Chain A
Amino acid sequence: MMSSIVANVVVQGVLTGLVYGLMALGLSVIFGVVRVVNFAHGEFAVIGMYAAFLLFAHYQLDPLIALVPIAIAFFALGYGLQVTLVQRFVGRAEHEQFILLVGLAIIIVNGLLMIFGPDARPANLPYSFDSFMVGSLIIDKARLYAAIAAVVVAVLLFLFFAYSRTGTAIRACADNLTGAAVVGLNIKRLYALTFGLGLACVGAAGSLLVTIADASPSLAPAYTLLAFTIVIIGGLGSMAGALIGGVLIGISEALAGFFISPSMKSMFSFALLIIVLVLRPQGIMGRRA
């Protein structure tokens, strides 16, 4: 009996973790290429959540479908942000980039607070409480769909980087910036594309998160830290690492929430972060810098 409960908890954790992983993937891609730490990452995720919530509340658009226009809008947002603001900070001192994005994060969180208020907004999907039975496992329908969508988006991104010319060019920038510039790649454009793709990931993840959590401004800093934790555990700049890190954190949070207390679950994520930082700072899948 106990083992089946634990199995259920773990499955929940894996599914949630995959959505977390997609969010972290955006952070990882941006850092891996542009070398700028997006400290407003969770804030963007929460903007995505509100976008999906509004689309559902007003047009009954399922978040799984709303994901597409939201991701496109976020791509444009990221592209514009990189061109107008972040590009000027590329190559500047780490703390200056950090402060720029912390400033942006503060504006987003409090802007959301002013517009939507502090209350959590649940999107009551028609299938929110449906579930599949597989043997003794009970799997939330919404969570399963969200996890599948997250994996689909991640695979698409992976294929883009692996096989498209632009994706290859972006990887070239990440591997050897000088070399990439020498062979005539338009670095600024590629950086803008990358930042756009990173935000598209986080926008997509945001709309999926609506199926798991209720949109609220106070989630934003927590998601930023969560994305960082995942990416550092998985290895900054590693795409597979982000998903693996997401699943690990998802499982650890689910187990800690079940066995100890839901309010203490992120304590274990932070403990895991401290341990990984100390023992293996490059992360599970990362290479030594």
Chain B
Amino acid sequence: MSGLWNAMPRHGQALVVVLLAVLLFAPAVADRYVLSVLTLVFYFAYVGQAWNLMMGFAGQLSLGHALYVGLGGYVAALLWLFFGIGPWLGVVPAVLVATAFGVAIGWLGFRFSIEGVYFALLTIAFAEFTRIAFDHIGISGGAGGLFIPFQADRSSEWWNLRGGQVSFYYIALGLAVGAVVLAAALLRSRLGYQWLAVREDPVAAQALGINVFRAKMKAVVISAAMTGVGGVFHAFYYGNLFPAQVFDIARSIEIILGPIVGGLGTVFGPVVGAFLLTPMGEGLIMLTHALGISAPGAKAVFYGLILMVIISLKPTGLWPWLSRMFRLEARKS
């Protein structure tokens, strides 16, 4: 991390400090709605970063990240509802379960060299399989959903994710910042360089003595674990879980939009993408409401258009272009 920080030009560092300060003090002035939008931005920056580690850094396309969100959320919610184990502790088994599925998918995929689109389909197949399975598991509420009731007497327990909007805001901010720091550290670590080598040319990487299988597995494990944590946050923030919603492929696609628009394989790409897309989507909803049109699909159509335009015109995403424009890119060390 310190490497990335030191390599940043002065005005880049200033920008980061100002942005962080603004976000830290935002709850003092902003209303609930703005905070809820920002919370969503942080959440997508966080899970987007988790996906970015796997796809952007290690080059493994997952279209089933909703699986880890759902598993993390369900495990933590069930532990809370049935045993009163708070999410700050429940996050550990939640991450373990999400990671176990990640290991299974990674092992099957990489051991049997299922690559590219085939690997993406494997991840979708797992997510869909789990979605239908959860529809039929009675203990977790089946298709009818699982609910985490709001308890007014416990609303001071922010560590149990029972607090109000402001506590969720800070937790999401912490997650997003933590993910950026982790991604920056990983990118400059031995593992990070191995990932880039594997992404660019797995055969050459193997020839250099990199254990390609292990490097890929580490990417899946870290990504699944991080996404599982995101799932715990998601479940307690919204207070409900429906298999048809959390495991849906549309959720997986939502996760990957930010990093793709922002810039695959860059540390700040997922952040830029989330800051751009989430408020735009919210703005579109407000606009259609203001115009009196009830168009439930409008936001998604807009996202679809954005995806097609970005991938046609700027396949590397916005961040590389932004950083060049404002000379924010790291100085060559």
Contacts and interface: CB of A to CB of B under 8 A. Distances in A.
A105 B117 contact: no
Contacts, number: 119
Contacts of A225: 124-125, 128, 249
A103 B311 contact: yes
A155 interface: no
A263 B132 contact: yes
B117 A274 contact: no
B145 to A, nearest CB: 15
Interface stretch (B29-37, B78-86, B295-303): B295-303
Nearest to A95: B61
Nearest to A113: B297
Contact of B129 (A93, A263, A267): A267
B55 interface: yes
Contacts of B136: 261, 263-264
Interface string B192-204: 0000000000000
Given A102-B253, A225-B128, A277 B297 contact: no
A95 B296 CA distance: 28
A212 to B, nearest CB: 20
Contact of A274 (B126, B249, B296, B298): B126
Interface string A196-231: 000000000000000000000000010001001100
Interface residues on B, range: 35 or more
Interface string B286-327: 000000000111101101111110011001000000000000
Contacts of A119: none
Q: How big is chain A's contact interface, by range? A: 35 or more
A185 B307 CA distance: 33
Contact of B132 (A98, A99, A111, A266): A266
Interface string A262-289: 0110110011011001110100000000
Nearest to A217: B297
B121 interface: yes
Contacts of B306: 103
Given A266-B132, A270-B125, A110 B300 contact: yes
B276 to A, nearest CB: 16
B132 A274 contact: no
A105 B304 contact: yes
B129 A103 contact: no
Given A88-B312, A221-B249, A264-B132, A281 B300 contact: no
Interface in B113-171: 113-114, 116-118, 120-122, 124-126, 128-129, 132-133, 135-136, 143
A106 to B, nearest CB: 3
A92 interface: yes
Of B121, B296, B300, chain A has the most CB atoms within 10 Å of the CB of B121
A24 interface: no
A232 interface: yes
A274 B108 contact: yes
Residue of A99, A114, A118 with highest tally of chain B CB at under 10 A: A99
A18 to B, nearest CB: 23
B296 to A, nearest CB: 6
Given A95-B116, A277-B121, 20 more contacts: A96-B311, A98-B117, A100-B312, A102-B253, A103-B306, A106-B250, A106-B300, A106-B301, A107-B305, A109-B300, A110-B298, A111-B301, A112-B297, A114-B297, A114-B298, A228-B121, A232-B121, A266-B132, A274-B129, A281-B112
Interface of B: 55, 61, 63, 108, 112-114, 116-118, 120-122, 124-126, 128-129, 132-133, 135-136, 143, 249-250, 253, 260, 295-298, 300-301, 303-308, 311-312, 315
18 contacts: A94-B61, A94-B116, A95-B61, A99-B311, A100-B308, A103-B303, A107-B300, A111-B301, A112-B297, A114-B298, A225-B128, A263-B132, A263-B136, A263-B143, A274-B108, A274-B125, A277-B122, A281-B112
